Amino acid sequence: MTPSESYPRKRTAEKYITKEERPKRSTIDDVTKDSTNDDVQYILPTPVNTNPASIQDRKRHIQKIADIIVRKQPEVKVPKLKATEIEYNIAKSTSNKTYASTLRNAVLKLQRPEKFQSATHKKKHSQEDALKLLKSMTVSDEKLKKYGFVMSVPESVPYNKITRNCQRCDTEFKLSQQLEPTLCSFHYGKVRRNPDNRERYYECCLAPKDDSKPCDSCKHHVYQNSTPEEKQSIRPFVKTEEVFDQKGKYRVLGIDCEMGYTTKGFELMRVTAVDYFSLKTVMDAYVLPFGEVVDFNTRFSGISAIDGNFVSFNQMIQELGTVMDKDTILIGHGLENDMNALRLIHNQIIDTSILYPKFESTPTSKKSLKDLTFKYLSRNIQVGDHDSAEDSIAAIEIVKFHVDKLKV
């Protein structure tokens, strides 16, 4: 516990109450033994070494959890005590980057427990039946286009301006000066809306959207190539039926790609493929980018350096061609980003962001994979070091959850 998190001593009429003089903290077991124990005035967040949030923020979250417990679990005799233990279990296993999202998921589970009860199925589908169902779930080309997939080879149109707008802070900068150190300040988390008061806040630091200073910074501005035509000018798109001319080993794969920022935009740096039926990772390739690296995007990519494990883009495509072909069904979340980074045009796609959309009418607004995984699988992901296989497996299991409800 840092000095700034030290607990204030309780003032009495005669003296301060020291740490040794405080009443011993009760446990849930103690409460069940002594139902008259309602003295919770000294309950405070349990100290942890991870420093996930300030003491005041932790106390605020404990109070919110306690309020939910009062409404949803009236049989609990000391809701603040149970809330403190719930918050502690989250705080001790998270950091300041993952605490808020993990706690949000826990609150959702308390508010809507019926959504997280394990579903039981009398009969599991055979592999062939599952394949039939998966085939019926693939998205049409027209809908894939609506969600940002490139479905035909675009014309090559190079970007011919000398400036870009930073993807993170929106500052205009000269491309020729991108590698020169500067200050780029930004929020790395998405904007979310508080269901209680409808206020919008950044999930990275919980700060209000309209009244907050950036919580992170980098030494360089970064950008993405926004149009298929720009992407085509750097590295061309190809149809899988043209590049994969041999039968792949797997009929259904979960795909997840990691990207980093370079002088050529937002480039592919890792490809992970997981078999749908066995959940085994069948490919995990690190890819050399075309441009010079500006930012590895480590927080989200898990990549911090280029080493001897990296292969060329063409080598990666050859390896990918051994595990898939034009008929392989690919599963992922926001898969248009992965397919565009791979420069592949493929029409056997199941995308969990399309399967469970946030709003049918606005394809650009999507539920996160993290939220979908918690909602449908009752499991937290992306709480520690990044693991692209974990994301692939999560998307696969969400699809399996959906398939198990269908009839052949």
- The per-residue pLDDT for range 217-253, each reduced to its tens digit, is 999 999 999 899 999 999 999 999 999 989 999 999 9
CA distance 270 to 257: 5
Within a domain: 388: yes
Q: Is 35 a residue whose pLDDT tops 80?
A: no
Residue 309 tokens read as 């494990």
Using one digit for the tens of pLDDT, what is the confidence trace for 309-318? 999 999 999 9
Q: CB-based burial of residue 35 (10 Å sphere; 0-12 exposed, 13-18 middle, 19+ buried)?
A: exposed
> Percent of the chain, pLDDT > 70?
83
Residues 241 and 380 in one domain: yes
* Total count of domains within the chain: 3
Q: Is 87 a residue whose pLDDT tops 60?
A: yes
Residues 197 and 240 in one domain: no
pTM of the entire predicted model: 0.71
Q: Is 182 a residue whose pLDDT tops 60?
A: yes
Using only C-alpha atoms, what is the Rg of the chain?
25
CA distance 342 to 316: 9
pLDDT category of residue 115 using cuts at 50, 70 and 90: low
Residues 58 and 168 in one domain: no
What pLDDT does 235 receive?
A: 95
Residues 47 and 182 in one domain: no
Within a domain: 333: yes
Extract the runs of DSSP E, i.e. beta strands, from 109-251.
Answer: 163-165, 172-174, 184-186, 191-193, 200-202, 216-218, 238-239
Residues 271 and 303 in one domain: yes
Tokens 């149109």 locate to 157
Residues 171 and 82 in one domain: no
Using one digit for the tens of pLDDT, what is the confidence trace for 246-293? 999 999 999 999 999 999 999 999 999 999 999 999 999 999 999 999
Using one digit for the tens of pLDDT, what is the confidence trace for 186-216? 999 888 888 777 788 888 888 888 877 899 9
Residues 338 and 372 in one domain: yes
What pLDDT does 44 receive?
A: 86
Cα separation values, 397 from 77, 115, 300, 318, 331, Å: 37, 16, 21, 27, 10
The domain of 88 spans 26-34+41-116
Residues 99 and 135 in one domain: no
Nearest to 350, CA basis, from 269, 406, 287, 292: 406
Within a domain: 86: yes
Residue 59 phi, psi dihedral angles, 5° rounding = -65, -40
What pLDDT does 364 receive?
A: 65
Within a domain: 16: no
Residues 282 and 212 in one domain: no
Using one digit for the tens of pLDDT, what is the confidence trace for 97-108? 667 767 877 887
CB 189 within 8 A of CB 382: no
Using one digit for the tens of pLDDT, what is the confidence trace for 12-24? 343 444 444 444 4
CB 288 within 8 A of CB 311: yes
Within a domain: 121: no
What pLDDT does 42 receive?
A: 58
The predicted model gives 125-138 an average pLDDT of 92
Domain of 273: which CATH number?
3.30.420.10
Mean pLDDT is lowest, of 36-40, 133-137, 317-321, 322-326, for 36-40
Within a domain: 380: yes
What lies within 8 Å, CB to CB, of 270 at 6+ separation is 257, 258, 284, 285, 286, 287, 301, 302, 303, 388
Nearest to 1, CA basis, from 42, 62, 35, 44: 44
Q: What is the dihedral of CA 375, 378, 384, 390, to 10 degrees?
A: -80
What pLDDT does 15 receive?
A: 41
Residues 72 and 132 in one domain: no
Could you tell me the maximum CA-CA distance found in the chain, to the nearest angstrom?
85
Using one digit for the tens of pLDDT, what is the confidence trace for 309-357? 999 999 999 999 999 999 999 999 999 999 999 999 999 999 999 998 8
pLDDT category of residue 359 using cuts at 50, 70 and 90: low
Q: Which helix (H) or strand (E) holds 21?
A: none
